[in-house]
Amino acid sequence: MVNISSSNVSSMPLVSVIMPSYNTSRYIKEAIDSVLAQDYPNKELILIDDGSTDGTIDLVRSYRSQLKLITQANQGAAVARNAGLAAAQGEYIAFIDSDDCWLPGKLSLQASYLQAHPDLGVVYSRWQTWKPTPDGSFSMPLIQEVESGSQELDIVPERSGWLYNRLLFGSMLHTITVMARRTLIDQVGQFEPDLKRGQDYDYWLRASRLTEIHQLNRVTALYRLHGSGCVTKYPTINYEEVVLEKALARWGLKGPNGEFTKFADVQKRLAEICFGFGYYHYHDGDPYLAARAFARSVTRKPAGLSGWRYLVMSALKSGACWVAKTLEKSSKKLLRQQRR
């Protein structure tokens, strides 16, 4: 083991790790331990509890001076992360959720990469989903690494660079794998509190207008799949559509590097988002919301026969009489977008 002197530690950039938590007493110890076990010595862990009621706070307090605890009434992950950003002292910022885990070496790997690439604002990495065994427990999985023919750390080319135009087709970054410079965070601003889902997608879209983003070809985090997470609760608002339309209204189809995305391709993407939202609500949610989503889908992709079929079925199922009005409204909006 290499001994690192206090002077060497102080010369390394401080990394602030931000962890929001809400009722994750079953998993939070593993998450905290995975941060504290990182071999990067100059780090601070800021844990923001978002009104937990399941004993999470007692577990966190047992770590005493090993982390900084902030408590707040339940307001959502965006507000919690923003509280963490306000308290962070680090030159670099990293994020982890309280039910996920980092693998050894994550912070050292990314901090070294940022130091070697001073013009880069954000680095992220590959991650691996962590599924439970049949009895509901979680055993450490076999990490699916990719062999590299180079001595140097590879990046994933198709998921690196000026990503704005590629992010229009999906959120490529997993926030638990991200490390960003504080200077960039200050430019991007806060996470959007009104976005109960998709807040990270919105944030990295905003960041992609300001900097290149690189993905390291290394698995550094485990994303735990379990039945009590917010991802299992389907929303009544199509947040992915909201985030994408917001980005298009603000920046349009042209990336900061001059790359241009076709209008028809983005409309197809929006149609698919609306169809997916409608499909869920038709089968397991609110048929009224489903009909509205399918109406928006077919105005963007009129040739999509499945969209029309589900529009009729969901309208009949919900007893809605406003389909024609919704179609007219969506068509006018689409026409305005084409004229820009």
By the 8 A CB rule, do 40 and 15 touch?
yes
Q: What is the pLDDT of residue 142?
A: 62
Task: Tell whether 226 and 287 lie within a shared domain.
Answer: no
Helices vs strands, H then E, count in the chain: 13, 8
Q: What is the pLDDT of residue 30?
A: 95
* Domain region containing 89: 6-232
Task: Tell whether 110 and 62 lie within a shared domain.
Answer: yes
> Is 94 a domain residue?
yes
Task: Tell whether 226 and 310 lie within a shared domain.
Answer: no
Task: Tell whether 97 and 212 lie within a shared domain.
Answer: yes
Nearest to 50, CA basis, from 27, 29, 75: 75
> Is 255 a domain residue?
no
Query: Per-residue confidence at 129, pLDDT binned at 50, 70, 90?
Result: confident
For the chain, give the mean pLDDT: 89
Task: Tell whether 56 and 191 lie within a shared domain.
Answer: yes
pLDDT digits (tens, 9 = 90+) for 215-251: 999 999 999 987 654 445 678 999 999 999 999 999 9
By the 8 A CB rule, do 21 and 48 touch?
yes
What is the C-alpha separation between 93 and 99, in angstroms, rounded?
Answer: 19
Q: How many domains does the chain have?
A: 2
pLDDT digits (tens, 9 = 90+) for 7-64: 466 679 999 999 999 999 999 999 999 999 999 999 999 999 999 999 999 999 999 9
> Is 334 a domain residue?
yes
> Is 241 a domain residue?
no
Task: Tell whether 182 and 270 lie within a shared domain.
Answer: no
Q: What is the CATH number of the domain that holds 148?
A: 3.90.550.10
Task: Tell whether 223 and 312 lie within a shared domain.
Answer: no
> Is 245 a domain residue?
no
What is the C-alpha separation between 314 and 30, in angstroms, rounded?
Answer: 44
Task: Tell whether 226 and 286 lie within a shared domain.
Answer: no
